[in-house]
Amino acid sequence: MKKIPETVLAYIEKDHCFLMLFRNKKKVDINKGKWLGVGGHLEKGETPEQALFREVKEETGYTVKKFEYKGLITFNYDGYTELMHLYHVSEVEGELGECSEGDLKYIPIERVYDLDMWEGDKIFIPYLLEDKPYFELELNYEGNKLVSHRFIK
C-alpha cells in the first residue's frame, strides 16, 4: 500500500494579520498563483511538529515560539491525496527573510478571504481564530474547483 504524503501548513498570526505566502517562484507548483500559509512535506522520520519548526524557519527565517495544532486535513486533488497538519502560530522570533517559493506578506485577517486561495482554505481559516477543538476535514477538488467537503471530526 502506498504511503500518503504528509505536510504541515502553518498560519502565523501577528497584530491581527496572517503571514501569507504568494506562491510564484517555482516552475512546477500545484499552489502556483495562490496565497496560503507556510509549510511543506514531512521529511523521512520527522514528526509533524518537527516539520512545522523546520518549514517555518526555512520559509520565513522565524523560530516558532508558540503554536497550536488545530486539525488534520485530507486534501484530494485529481487522484492525488495528501494529509495536511494544520497549525496556528501565535508567536515567533527573529527577522522575516526571503522565501524561495514565493513572496511573503502580512495581510489583515479580514482581507485574507479576498485573496486568490484554495476554496477549502476559506472553510478552515475560521477554525484557526476561534477556540474550537481539534477537527478533521476532507476537501475534494477537481482541478482548482472544490467539489465537496466534509468534517470527519
Domain range summary for the chain, segments of one domain joined by +: 6-151
At 27, the pLDDT band (50, 70, 90 cuts) reads: confident
Q: Percentage of residues in the chain with pLDDT exceeding 70?
A: 99
Superfamily designation of domain 6-151: Nucleoside Triphosphate Pyrophosphohydrolase (3.90.79.10)
Rounded CA-CA distance 121/102 in Å is 18
Three cell numbers written together for 13? 498570526
79 vs 55: which has the higher pLDDT: 55
User: What would the grid cell of residue 120 be?
Assistant: 477549502
pLDDT, one tens digit per residue, over 110-132 is: 999 999 999 999 999 999 988 88
How far apart are the C-alpha atoms of 17 and 113, rounded to whole Å? Answer: 12
Contact 12/60 with Cβ under 8 angstroms?
A: yes
Q: Is the pLDDT of residue 144 over 80?
A: yes
Is residue 67 pLDDT above 80, yes or no?
yes
Q: Is the pLDDT assigned to residue 1 strictly greater than 80? A: no
- Please provide residue 81's backbone torsions phi and psi, each rounded to the nearest 5 degrees: -125, 140
Residue 96 has a pLDDT of 97
Which position has the higher pLDDT, 1 or 151?
151
